[in-house]
Amino acid sequence: MIEIDPLMGLRMINDGSVSLLSTRREGKTNVSTVSWQMPLSQDPPMLGISLTPSCLSNELLRESGEFVLSIPDASLIAETHYCGTHRGDSEDKVRSMQFRTMRARKVIPLLVTNCIGHLECAVRDVYPFGDRLFYASRVVAALVEEDYFDNGWNENAQTLHHLGGDRYKTGGGILDAKIWPLPQQMPNLPPLF
């Protein structure tokens, strides 16, 4: 695992992949699934997450002001789904899912080392939106498994994308965009049909 610039780390969530949210207070750790997260700012590097107010992660996060987003790959689909459908106040999901953890570099919550990337975050602001709380947070450190990341996820990274209910998909192939010529610069081609 290597540390990368927090700004570059924001690319870990550009694809809309699901993350595992790690929160911790007074030795109590919870891991829950988050599928509503997004980059907010490059300078400073910031992201936003949306949580249900009644969940344990929200309680721990409001008290500690710090969290880690760990990015699972497709091999963790069962664990990811479980963490999103079971409450942490009645069980220790880290133990139940047999997650390996390690200390973060700059925040108190733990990294779920089974995952391929990690964003360590400090909460800046909290906003109520409908039935959710939105956390605007600064990325203070970013770590990634280098076999999966080349200035962004590479072909080895099979990130998970939640489609609703118990359905997920993985990221598809990677396409490199090219700047197309302006219409007046295109050659005269015969019609296709």
What mean pLDDT is reported for the chain?
90
Angle subtended at Cα 133 by Cα 128 and Cα 134, rounded to the nearest 5 degrees: 95
Angle subtended at Cα 106 by Cα 146 and Cα 142, rounded to the nearest 5 degrees: 25
Mean pLDDT, consecutive 10-residue stretches, the chain (193 aa), reads 95 93 91 95 97 90 95 94 89 89 95 96 96 97 96 92 92 70 64 66
CA–CA dist 33, 77 (Å, integer): 11
Q: Please spell the DSSP secondary structure of the chain, one letter per residue.
A: -EEE-HHHHGGGSTT---EEEEEEETTEEEEEEE--EEEEEETTEEEEEEE-TTSHHHHHHHHH-EEEEEE-BGGGHHHHHHHHHS-TTSS-HHHHTT--EEE-SSSSSEEETTSSEEEEEEEEEEEEETTEEEEEEEEEEEEE-GGGBSSSB-TT--BEEEEETTEEEE--------PPPPGGGS-------
Rounded alpha-carbon distances, angstroms, from residue 121 to 107, 116, 144, 147: 7, 17, 15, 23
Give the phi and the psi of residue 100 in degrees, each rounded to 5: -90, 140
Separation of first and last alpha carbons in the chain: 52
Q: What is the pLDDT of residue 74?
A: 94
Q: Which CATH number fits domain 2-165: 2.30.110.10, 3.40.50.2300, 3.20.20.70, 3.40.190.10?
A: 2.30.110.10
8 Å CB contact between 14 and 24 = no
Q: What is the pLDDT of residue 28?
A: 86
Q: What is the pLDDT of residue 88?
A: 87
Write the pLDDT tens digit of every residue in 53-97.
888 898 999 999 999 999 999 999 999 999 999 888 888 888 888
8 Å CB contact between 165 and 35 = no
Domain boundaries along the sequence of the chain: 2-165
Q: What is the pLDDT of residue 193?
A: 64
Q: What is the pLDDT of residue 93?
A: 87
